[in-house]
Amino acid sequence: MNHSRITGWGKYIPEKCLSNLDIEKFVNTGHDWIVSRTGIEQRYIANDDENCSMMAVKAIEKSLEQANRSASDLDLIIVATNTPDYLVPSVSSIIQHNLGANCPAFTVVTGCTGFMYALITAHQFLATGAYSCISIVGVDTISRFLDWNDRTTCVLFGDGAGAVVLEATNKPYGIISFDMGSDGAKGMQLAIPGFGSAVKMDHAMLNRGDQFLSMVGSDIFKFATRIVPPTIRKIVDAADLVLNDIALFVPHQANIRIIESATKELVIDKEKIFSNIHHYGNTSAASIPLCLIDIVAQKRVNIGDYLCLVSFGAGLTWASAIVRWGTHLD
């Protein structure tokens, strides 16, 4: 049982949908400007009663139902988020309790790559035989930390949660190869600088606006377009495949121009590049699982297909994997 496969999937999307036309009413921007520079047409924003743990629990419950599992079957819960309910206690323990699960739980905080880091980590527990059934959820409420007067950030992000159940199997499915990396040299180019032990929590911090997400977009663009082609080549080679063997490329949904530029170098057929950024915006750690769930819903993947998942984000970090699709239904 040295393989793993995704057997269940589920998502939770907040009720409130914020379109570009809505944003036009309070930010000096326009629908056409946002679409041309990001590809985003709308995003979903959490209400006051929709926090990180609540959305994660809803998504996990749906994924367990899809997998014909219950919370009692879980050996481990891994939560990928940048926006937990609190700094302490860990949101993963809150989620574990609210699910009614009796298993360990921990949180991965690696920016937008969090879900990929969690997926790769879960695979190790299953491949070694330590565990047999793991829940992984990517969830973020980035809207809580946006300056809604800053059009360089507020138009980009949305909230949501996507979860999968990963189970051990003796069939050759799941993660075939992977790559992870970190380059902290320009980590503060994408940051929420006002929270943590490195800063003093006072009115001066709030007056500076350090509680809000800040981003140097040009540096993030350069980083993403530099790192995506080589990490894809690396995992394709490691899986003993060629690019044409990949049924679908699933990049982190940060910006449509990043996706187009990063994949142009590889000469990938546009029909093989999946994107739903127009619908959700950048949902950070929830981005990749929401893509997977939409791919299944749109019947874009078949048993045995190879998917190339690639993510990049705060840290600065990246993570990618070749996943051979297989479920409990095959």
Known catalytic residues are 112, 252, 282
Task: Tell me the one-letter amino acid at 322.
Answer: I
Do the beta carbons of residue 312 and residue 113 sit within 8 Å? yes
Determine the Cα–Cα distance for residues 214 and 188; give it in Å rounded to an integer.
Answer: 8
Give the pairing type, strands 174-182 and 317-324: antiparallel
What is the 3-state composition of the chain as percent helix, strand, coil, each rounded to the nearest 5?
A: 40, 25, 35
Strand residue runs (E) in 183-224 = 190-191, 214-215
Query: Which position has the token pair 């929420």?
Result: 192
Determine the Cα–Cα distance for residues 191 and 308; give it in Å rounded to an integer.
Answer: 27
Task: Tell me the one-letter amino acid at 36.
Answer: S
Residues 6+ apart with CB under 8 A from 200: none
